[in-house]
Chains A and B, each alone.
Chain A
Amino acid sequence: MLGFMDYVQKAFLEASNWNQDNSYSTLTATAQALLDFETPRGLRLNVSSLASPKFASSYTIGTVGLVDGSLSYLYSSLPLEARFKSSEIDLHHVIQGYRQLQDLRQPDQSWWWEVWHKGKRVDRRDALLYGRLFLPQSTLEALYLRRLSPSRQLKVSAVSDARLPNGGTILTLLQNDFGKYSTEYLYSTDSALLGVRGLYNFGPDPRTATSQDVQAEPVYGRFSAGAELYYGLLNKSGGMSTGIRFTTLPQHTGFPYTMTLTLNPLMGNLSSTYAVKAGQNLALCSRFDFNFYSYESDLQLGCELWRRRGPDAEVEWASKMLRPDWERPAVRPDGDVAGVLKARVDQNWRAGVLWEGRIRELLFTLGTSFDLKRRDHIFRAVGVELQYST
């Protein structure tokens, strides 16, 4: 489940019309959500609030043997209108599962953003500032996000920690999203790492497509290919990978599915994932890794199961009386979702189970990871996270 601050940042991206999915770094987001979810450790409480549409604060206290916590504050120049109360949050927004890609959207024209007042441009670029201080480790995380133009975004994230070499690290990420393709350039002060990422979407170009084309020939799937390249100037080492993805779009009539294949030619690593949304409540995913240098392989299986809330017994008799063609107002914003159960297991019988949902006003995450091979020490981590936000 996304933390409150992550959710606010996501809301900022949505409010500023930034498509997070059109990036090479999120090529395997579906598989990561279904297979690489983190299970909480210990007890963690999170109290957050969006005091104003532009300012949010969040406080976390947790205990894993010893008590630690964090304070975080966020400022957004763009007023955020989404629902942030924990009793009103749509669970689909904070729980990452199978990610259904939407149609590519033509990027805004830059003149759309221009606001003129008395012959002068008065519009400002949207920006987001975020800071988080971990105690007692005294680690500081800071984030600066700025929409430079409708197709460009700058993201500077920094971590300050005395235990890190040079006292911290800064990552600068410049993202361009032109719809048809997207590029990212990054620089990390740690060992002066330079990186380039790019993603290209095959198919019609959203910038030139007209509404008639879409009507005439609906596109059922999208094929994307991308690559990334890194080079550390100081340690003179690098890395690269390429990847392709095919995913179905909402127009697809069958069940949605996503296939990816990534290849790291330097290290000989080949990874393929296949995720399918088998029904409204169920998504399955598998990943197979193979290294053709060391002949090591790995297989991971995962699933997510959404639990729908059953009909309310008190009003069930009344709903039965409704005519089928009558409009039924949804009681909650996320429909009748009560929670989601995620599970994963790999070939070494290491498994993880996560149950996320809402109890009254609280969002909770209950998870454990265990090792089925070690009978004496099966449970490796058990944890509960509770979130409350107003």
Chain B
Amino acid sequence: MAFNFNWSPLIADTSRARDMLTTALNKSPKPPIIVDDILVTELNLGSVPPELEILEIGDLAEDRFRGIFKMSYTGDAFLTLKTRVQANPLNTYLSTKPSFASPQPLAASSGLTIPLQITLSDIRLSGFVILVFSRQKGLTLVFRNDPLESLKVSSTFDSIPFVRDYLQKEIEGQLRVLFMEDLPAILHRLSLRLWSPDYRELDNSNGLQEGNKDGTIPIDPLSSPPQNPVDGFGNPITDSETSAFFLDDPTQTHASFSQKNLVRLAALAESHRTLSLFTPGIREAVFRAWAGTTESREHSGTATPALTLSSLSRAHSSLGLSTLPSTYSASDSAETGPSSSSRPPLSSFSSAIGHGLTLGANRSRAHAQRKRKRRVVNLRKDRNEDDISDTASTTTGASTPAPSVIVSEPLPEREEDLVTPPRSPAKNVRFSARRPSGEYAADSPARSPRARPASADYPAQENTKLSLPPQKHLSPDAKPVHDAAPSNIGRSRPPLRLHHPTPSTSAIPLLRTLSAEKLPFTAHSQQGDLFSPSASSSSGGILEQAWMMKMANEIARKVQDEKRRQSSDSAGLWEMPPPAYSSV
């Protein structure tokens, strides 16, 4: 899978961005040293795009998207502001003090306002971006932390240290507010105007030109189509392929539907209409009606700890949307995930885990009714991806029966990540709350016409079987894909093994890790459905190809893990929290 992040159209026209910035900067109460409106006169986003590292893709569909990115920016963007400032330090000092204990100077505090031109350059941003998009609820972009690392403020007062320091401090503060509060609000408003039909009716005149408007936001790669899409290796991607990446292009949504899935969908709708007994099995789909109950229950379990998070609660308040929590809950659970997963004792786990355990108690009933599968896309950008991705691509390439798989599009897996695999379990915890809206219906009769056929999630299973080294076949009847996963999980989390005393029987799918462990009722019964050879659709669109690549990389990673485990018992490494979340 690849996201084409097109930076060049963002640089072209920044007039709307200037207006928005001007509004945003003047909205909050200004420090007393600034005595006039702040006017953005020049905005250049620079030629260096920000680096976006995909940490997680939690939800991926035609009309919605949820992911966490790690963004770092060290580009050459600059911004020029014009305003008027109070040059008398005594004036600004006294204006914030109570008059009762003020020295009340006669004329020493008389003001001198000076037009000021401030240039912000050398902007260093680094932060985690949570991007949630749904066609109904618009785009929500939240910075998990304060993204502003450093900033150079050069002004006409550089020779006066007091004023310079003051300006630097104040502007940094204003920018932090802008990033944390104003930017999500602006984005959400714009996206609602773009995609929500209600808002579109309200604001019909703006129409789709505002799509380019979104380009001003640095992290909105899905809002505008790329000009010259290339994949990770620089090979051009055809239009039909790129269309799969764009969640917002209604004219090309069908391009990524495979013919087979369309036929199945049609058959499903037909059966629904005619009460036919035959319903085609659409893999990895689940009724939303069924999933809704567990979804709401899990939301109630996981939503409460998320309220303590400043960034999200701030986003709640700033956006002021009562409908947001449903979209946020994914990232909410993401907040609680890493901290809990990194702790060894099971008792300290949060309510999500406890909930999962209670579900596991009545698992016999549960997996008769609901089949749930968690799918997590772990995409990590790697800087030294050559060796791993090469192995992955060669193995899959040799064994893949589907020629449509682009082996040259590796799923990045960092070398270090092999050493610190707790990240991926941590991620699975995150989306355990959201996932129940399920991707597959397994063999149960899928009657819901809303089941999405678009994401045929595990087309790569057949391939992965072939790609595994032969020494992995510890048990002949277990899928070779699966024997690596339980061992991995059992090793990384000994307490959880209690629920899986026999890893070989519970052939856990490769991608299911901690979350699946926490909800064990899903773990057992679905394997046959998941990997039944009857459900074979390897053609698929880009998403399926991406999944294949994902699987291939996962397998490669597991192999590496297995090797590493055999070579050294480095269990201590697994107990360490992932460095990116250690501060949570």
* Chain A positions 147-188 with a Cβ under 8 Å from a chain B Cβ: 157-159, 161, 164, 169-171, 173, 186, 188
Q: Interface majority SS on B: helix, strand, loop or mixed?
A: loop
Residue of A nearest to B115 (CB): A294
Q: Is the CB of A169 within 8 A of B97?
A: yes
Q: Is the CB of A237 within 8 A of B90?
A: yes
Q: Is the CB of A188 within 8 A of B103?
A: yes
Does A262 reach chain B (CB closer than 8 Å)? yes
- For A319-345 the 0/1 string (1 means CB < 8 A from B) is 000000000000000000000000000
Within 8 Å by CB of B100, from A159, A197, A237, A294, lies: A159
Does B87 reach chain A (CB closer than 8 Å)? yes
Residue of B nearest to A139 (CB): B98
Contact (A169, B108) CB under 8 Å given A193-B103, A235-B89, A236-B162: no
Does B399 reach chain A (CB closer than 8 Å)? no
Q: Is the CB of A28 within 8 A of B112?
A: no
Given A171-B102, A195-B103, A195-B105, 9 extra CB contacts under 8 A: A27-B106, A157-B100, A164-B98, A171-B103, A186-B103, A190-B101, A230-B105, A232-B93, A289-B110
Q: Is the CB of B105 within 8 A of A239?
A: yes
Q: Is the CB of A239 within 8 A of B108?
A: yes
Q: Is the CB of A239 within 8 A of B90?
A: yes
Does A264 reach chain B (CB closer than 8 Å)? yes
Contact (A263, B101) CB under 8 Å given A235-B162, A294-B112: no
Does A204 reach chain B (CB closer than 8 Å)? no
Residue of A nearest to B113 (CB): A294
Does B469 reach chain A (CB closer than 8 Å)? no
Q: Is the CB of A269 within 8 A of B107?
A: yes
Q: Is the CB of B112 within 8 A of A241?
A: no
Bound-state Cα–Cα, A65 to B460, Å: 66
Interface residues of B (CB under 8 A from A): 87-90, 93, 97-98, 100-114, 162
Q: Is the CB of B98 within 8 A of A25?
A: no
Contact (A237, B106) CB under 8 Å given A267-B88, A294-B114: no
**9 closest A-B pairs by CB:** A241-B107, A239-B108, A239-B90, A237-B89, A269-B110, A262-B107, A267-B112, A171-B101, A241-B108
- For A263-301 the 0/1 string (1 means CB < 8 A from B) is 110111101000000000000000001010110100000
Residue of A nearest to B90 (CB): A239
Bound-state Cα–Cα, A271 to B105, Å: 14
Bound-state Cα–Cα, A164 to B87, Å: 23
Q: Is the CB of B112 within 8 A of A243?
A: no
Bound-state Cα–Cα, A262 to B105, Å: 12
Contacting residues, chain B, for A291 (C-beta < 8 A): 112
Contacting residues, chain B, for A266 (C-beta < 8 A): 88
Q: Is the CB of A228 within 8 A of B108?
A: yes
Does A191 reach chain B (CB closer than 8 Å)? yes
Q: Is the CB of A159 within 8 A of B101?
A: yes
Residue of B nearest to A143 (CB): B100
Does A238 reach chain B (CB closer than 8 Å)? yes
Bound-state Cα–Cα, A193 to B100, Å: 15
Q: Is the CB of A161 within 8 A of B98?
A: yes
Contacting residues, chain A, for B88 (C-beta < 8 A): 239, 264, 266-267
Bound-state Cα–Cα, A296 to B84, Å: 13
Bound-state Cα–Cα, A291 to B107, Å: 12
Contacting residues, chain A, for B103 (C-beta < 8 A): 171, 173, 186, 188, 193, 195, 230
Bound-state Cα–Cα, A158 to B104, Å: 14
Q: Is the CB of A269 within 8 A of B106?
A: no
Within 8 Å by CB of A271, from B97, B104, B110, B114, lies: B110
Bound-state Cα–Cα, A25 to B112, Å: 20
Residue of A nearest to B108 (CB): A239
Contacting residues, chain A, for B100 (C-beta < 8 A): 141, 143, 157, 159
Among A24, A236, A239, residue most surrounded by chain B Cβ atoms (within 10 Å): A239
Q: Is the CB of B107 within 8 A of A271?
A: yes
Among A173, A235, A271, residue most surrounded by chain B Cβ atoms (within 10 Å): A235
Does A240 reach chain B (CB closer than 8 Å)? yes
Contact (A269, B101) CB under 8 Å given A28-B106, A228-B106, A243-B106: no
Q: Distance in Å from the Cβ of A187 to the closest Cβ of chain B?
A: 9
Residue of A nearest to B166 (CB): A235
Q: Distance in Å from the Cβ of B165 to the closest Cβ of chain A?
A: 9
Contact (A238, B90) CB under 8 Å given A164-B98, A188-B101, A293-B112: yes
Bound-state Cα–Cα, A191 to B103, Å: 12
Residue of A nearest to B105 (CB): A228
Q: Is the CB of B162 within 8 A of A239?
A: no
Q: Is the CB of B106 within 8 A of A24?
A: yes
Q: Is the CB of A241 within 8 A of B106?
A: yes
Q: Is the CB of B106 within 8 A of A230?
A: no
Bound-state Cα–Cα, A293 to B110, Å: 13
Contacting residues, chain B, for A24 (C-beta < 8 A): 106
Bound-state Cα–Cα, A139 to B114, Å: 34
Contacting residues, chain A, for B87 (C-beta < 8 A): 267
Q: Is the CB of B101 within 8 A of A241?
A: no
Bound-state Cα–Cα, A28 to B110, Å: 14
Bound-state Cα–Cα, A309 to B98, Å: 39
Among B103, B111, B112, residue most surrounded by chain A Cβ atoms (within 10 Å): B103
Bound-state Cα–Cα, A269 to B110, Å: 7
Q: Distance in Å from the Cβ of B537 to the closest Cβ of chain A?
A: 64
Q: Distance in Å from the Cβ of A198 to the closest Cβ of chain B?
A: 12
Q: Distance in Å from the Cβ of B25 to the closest Cβ of chain A?
A: 23
Residue of B nearest to A263 (CB): B107
Q: Distance in Å from the Cβ of B295 to the closest Cβ of chain A?
A: 43
27 A-B pairs with CB atoms under 8 Å apart are A24-B106, A25-B105, A28-B106, A139-B98, A141-B100, A159-B100, A171-B101, A188-B101, A188-B102, A193-B93, A230-B108, A232-B89, A235-B89, A237-B89, A237-B93, A239-B89, A239-B105, A241-B108, A262-B106, A262-B110, A264-B107, A264-B108, A266-B88, A267-B110, A289-B110, A294-B112, A296-B113
Within 8 Å by CB of A267, from B97, B98, B106, B111, lies: B111
Contacting residues, chain A, for B110 (C-beta < 8 A): 241, 262, 264, 267, 269, 271, 289
Within 8 Å by CB of B101, from A158, A229, A243, A264, lies: A158
Within 8 Å by CB of B97, from A141, A190, A230, A262, lies: A190
Among A228, A229, A264, A268, residue most surrounded by chain B Cβ atoms (within 10 Å): A264
Q: Distance in Å from the Cβ of A4 to the closest Cβ of chain B?
A: 16
Q: Is the CB of A269 within 8 A of B111?
A: yes
Bound-state Cα–Cα, A294 to B112, Å: 7
Q: Distance in Å from the Cβ of B180 to the closest Cβ of chain A?
A: 22
Contacting residues, chain B, for A157 (C-beta < 8 A): 100-101
Residue of A nearest to B162 (CB): A237
Contacting residues, chain A, for B97 (C-beta < 8 A): 164, 169, 190
Residue of B nearest to A293 (CB): B112
Contacting residues, chain B, for A237 (C-beta < 8 A): 89-90, 93, 162
Contacting residues, chain B, for A228 (C-beta < 8 A): 105-108
Q: Distance in Å from the Cβ of B422 to the closest Cβ of chain A?
A: 43
Bound-state Cα–Cα, A191 to B110, Å: 19
